Structure 1
């Protein structure tokens, strides 16, 4: 004989009240929406337990259930079907990609006559309640978005070499609707982390009140329950969108249970379903992830009977704040100290500030296009960002007056100066500049050579220049030696002044 349906305590109380009023079992069954036999069975139990309407005011639901359904001779809590090790399952459930459905399927494979899925889940939840008290988080629409990186990565192949590179998966979940966003990024570094947030807000079409990130180093410099230190670049991005940052407590995954579940779901619906596909670019992988996201957000949730997208459109999106006029442009902030040459360094390139600020500590704000330098919140310099070419970017107004004259030196200026002496000297200057990795490194040498030539006649300077080019003497020291030798070799008297000497053979010797 099949087991009778167990009525809820509300239905049991209503059944006893109707029976006390003389209502027939058929009418009671119609009112409660259950079978007549179920009503008859429960009324027999109530009669056997001595329960009649009206009930005593201090009779609780637990007391009524004990009196109606307690089995004589059966130890309370003893179950007739085999049970798994709940503690082991709780540990397994913490592993990536593991769900209760998977655990139940493995349990039924060992115990075919075991509990059904619903009863299995109820028993597991009952066990979980005994582990530690958990505060239920009721999320208000438009209040929080939970963000994190998935522990699993997606493989992307190089189309030319076939080399596999793994990309990270960024996942964000809105608290009230569970509406999910995901995308692949190459790294978890600050530019990718903030860029993913910018695209997330664009995807949502609005901004919630708070971001709840995990304590990723790109977003949180120092994790702390009482006073977490948020990365300055991340904080500036949040300020641009008018959103607060509330990092989860260290090693407390329940603080961000929404995104933990979203990550698990994303791993199943994204990585699981895309595992047989091969991607050859990040854009190709993100296009496939976007299709999987539609499937996640359009899936009708069993308990609620509606999709995440429906909840987002009807409940969450109206509560979001509007987006600013422009997307946030990623900017990295760094502290720097002005060196003695009144420049600050960023990524191996140097940018000038007013020379009066030597040894001062300044803030550098770097975007893809510009370098801005601030002193106590006031911008003191702005430069176009350099990725190649000369390493120093110097604004003339930042230089002392004595240095500005040096800044006016150029290869053309030195060439014109040398050409005014002669073509050999011009060739020497060109050779000196060409012999250096950077022409600027030859400026001082050129200046020294041209100053040495001030004391020489043009023909002598040209002769020295020709000899220097011939022997490759492109330093001030070499040219100074050539000048000294040239002066020593100059004749001091005419041919008639040559003295007679026994060691001089004379022209007759050769006849």
Structure 2
């Protein structure tokens, strides 16, 4: 009952003015003003059980006691109403509006309090809009799970032996509110996928829909509206296809759309981590967190459902989850990489070759624990086995044909290639390497061997024999021998073999047979 109605009721019961003021917690002067205003309208007298309507009492009081207006009638921020209105509608806070006014409008002299009052008046004038109404969403068992990360401070990482920033990965089932939690040291896609795989294994099934935040491990491009397009991370898409769940990303700047996991993250941080500030070892906290999720979070009576999450999960929701795939999940991660000038891409601090014509282009790299595939324009252009960090995997076909051999810097490699052309070439290359005991002759040998491979083996051997005879161990000298066909001439001091008889061309006629035929024809003509 309103205080005005109480005042009339107590007055009709015969209670004194001071007692009425004390019971209604108002000053005697205020009680007197209200009593006189109501008495003027004849509202104090009457039956106790038939009190006047509250609107009638208020009209009588306002008529007798009009509200006092402040001395300042116009706010210092009122002239900026048209400027502030679209900012406020767009979601800007009063502090943000105040800072922008100061930055962009030098003639603004209002205070932050004035801007706050202006925003409050505009919000009241706007009223409650349909978008302001929070619509509760009920989910069926096994239908939905929400996932998110929450920062929990710096914890000790046993792998690196240093304190690192740590987060807690939380998955909460929409129906039972059962939790799965893991401590992680990054939010990379590899960690994101591993957390999902561990969560599904721990739950013994897969929810139909996963609602993630707009982190890059899940969503590359978020939709800014209903008509906007959402682009999922390729790695997350493959994970969803393997386990058979769908992804429903949260709209951008709308954390309230995944309120279940937002509340769960706060609960984990305030209940578990806040009570264990003295423990910094992530390994110890991880084991305690798993036990806490079962025995504390799972056994509490949830404030919304008024049921125990673990009990509801075990009896109702777990049987409704989708079965785990028969084939084990192989984490697949997609990366965008740029092809370096050496026709390689860097993935996991290791280098992998691609066709050299893609230098400078961006390619997609699909990485599994054992293999790696590279795609350009949606076509696979290379496949490699994984190599350790710091190593290089190069396929000869990916390099330019005329330059791919230059990557080999071993003397034994080029010596072996020379031996394949013949012992004369092998001996000549050994002597080239030995011409200078300080200056390396690798580049000279590379030029010589690659040039000799363009000619028939007989000419390559003869050219090397002639170069050794004259002591010519440079690339220009050997190149000149072959260019001038000197390799086909005998060396000085050697007996030139007699020239071989000329052989008739393939389609030439036999001269002797032709002469015999002509003689026979002449004899017949004479006789």
Q: Which residue of 1 aligns with 2:144?
A: 144
CA distance in 2, matches of 1:181, 1:261: 14
Taking structure 1 as the reference length, what is the TM-score of the superposition?
0.54
Give yes or no for contact 1:363–1:373 (8 Å, CA) kept in 2.
yes
Query: After the TM superposition, which residues 40-189 of structure 1 pair with which residues of structure 2 at under 5 Å, given as runs?
Result: 132-153=132-153, 155-156=155-156, 163-189=162-188
CA distance in 1, matches of 2:437, 2:271: 67
Q: Which residue of 2 aligns with 1:244?
A: 246
Q: Which moved more, 1:240-249 or 1:145-154?
A: 145-154
Partner SS, residue 142 of structure 1 = coil
Alpha-carbon deviation of 1:146? 0.5
Q: Which residue of 2 aligns with 1:315?
A: 316
Alpha-carbon deviation of 1:304? 5.2
List runs of 5+ in structure 2 lacking aligned partners: 1-48, 56-127, 419-424, 453-462, 477-527
Give yes or no for contact 1:253–1:260 (8 Å, CA) kept in 2.
yes
Alpha-carbon deviation of 1:72? 6.1
Alpha-carbon deviation of 1:166? 2.4
Alpha-carbon deviation of 1:332? 2.6
Give yes or no for contact 2:366–2:372 (8 Å, CA) kept in 1.
yes
How many residues end up aligned between the 2 structures? 334
Which whole-Å deviations, capped at 9, do the CAs of 1:329-356 have from their partners, x for residues lacking one?
3333244576787655545654344678
Alignment pair present for 1:231 and 2:233? yes
Give yes or no for contact 1:298–1:308 (8 Å, CA) kept in 2.
yes
Give yes or no for contact 2:349–2:389 (8 Å, CA) kept in 1.
no
Query: After the TM superposition, which residues 370-409 of structure 1 pair with which residues of structure 2 at under 5 Å, given as runs?
Result: 370-375=371-376, 377-388=378-389, 390-391=391-392, 393-398=393-398, 402=402
CA distance in 2, matches of 1:138, 1:200: 22
CA distance in 2, matches of 1:157, 1:336: 29
Which entry has the higher C-alpha Rg, 1 or 2? 2
Give yes or no for contact 1:421–1:458 (8 Å, CA) kept in 2.
no
Alpha-carbon deviation of 1:256? 0.5
Which whole-Å deviations, capped at 9, do the CAs of 1:154-191 have from their partners, x for residues lacking one?
52266997x43221111110100101011111111222
Q: Which residue of 1 aligns with 2:331?
A: 330
List runs of 5+ in structure 1 lacking aligned partners: 1-69, 77-127, 434-441, 465-474, 478-511
Partner SS, residue 447 of structure 1 = helix
Q: Which moved more, 1:352-361 or 1:136-145?
A: 352-361
Q: Which residue of 1 aligns with 2:68?
A: none
Query: After the TM superposition, which residues 199-210 of structure 1 pair with which residues of structure 2 at under 5 Å, given as runs?
Result: 199-210=198-209
Partner SS, residue 152 of structure 2 = coil
Give yes or no for contact 2:142–2:320 (8 Å, CA) kept in 1.
yes
Do the aligned partners of residues 209 and 159 (structure 1) sit closer, same or farther apart at CA in structure 2, a change above 3 Å counting? closer
Query: After the TM superposition, which residues 106-505 of structure 1 pair with which residues of structure 2 at under 5 Å, given as runs?
Result: 132-153=132-153, 155-156=155-156, 163-224=162-223, 225-226=225-226, 227-279=229-281, 282-294=282-294, 295-301=296-302, 306-335=307-336, 343-346=344-347, 349-353=350-354, 362-375=363-376, 377-388=378-389, 390-391=391-392, 393-398=393-398, 402=402, 410-415=410-415, 420-421=427-428, 426=433, 443-448=442-447, 454=464, 456-457=467-468
Give yes or no for contact 1:414–1:429 (8 Å, CA) kept in 2.
no
Do the aligned partners of residues 306 and 394 (structure 1) sit closer, same or farther apart at CA in structure 2, a change above 3 Å counting? same
Which whole-Å deviations, capped at 9, do the CAs of 1:71-104 have from their partners, x for residues lacking one?
969979xxxxxxxxxxxxxxxxxxxxxxxxxxxx
Alpha-carbon deviation of 1:258? 0.6
CA distance in 2, matches of 1:317, 1:129: 39
CA distance in 2, matches of 1:277, 1:349: 37
Alpha-carbon deviation of 1:326? 3.7
Q: Which residue of 1 aligns with 2:506?
A: none
Give yes or no for contact 2:429–2:445 (8 Å, CA) kept in 1.
no
CA distance in 1, matches of 2:448, 2:387: 33
CA distance in 1, matches of 2:429, 2:437: 12
CA distance in 2, matches of 1:191, 1:363: 16
Do the aligned partners of residues 421 and 236 (structure 1) sit closer, same or farther apart at CA in structure 2, a change above 3 Å counting? same
Which whole-Å deviations, capped at 9, do the CAs of 1:295-339 have from their partners, x for residues lacking one?
211324467564211111111111111112344333332445767
Alpha-carbon deviation of 1:291? 1.6
CA distance in 1, matches of 2:50, 2:309: 44
Taking structure 2 as the reference length, what is the TM-score of the superposition?
0.53
CA distance in 2, matches of 1:71, 1:432: 118
CA distance in 2, matches of 1:429, 1:243: 69
Do the aligned partners of residues 413 and 141 (structure 1) sit closer, same or farther apart at CA in structure 2, a change above 3 Å counting? same
Alpha-carbon deviation of 1:267? 1.1
Alpha-carbon deviation of 1:400? 6.3
CA distance in 2, matches of 1:422, 1:336: 41
CA distance in 1, matches of 2:368, 2:160: 31
Give yes or no for contact 2:348–2:389 (8 Å, CA) kept in 1.
no
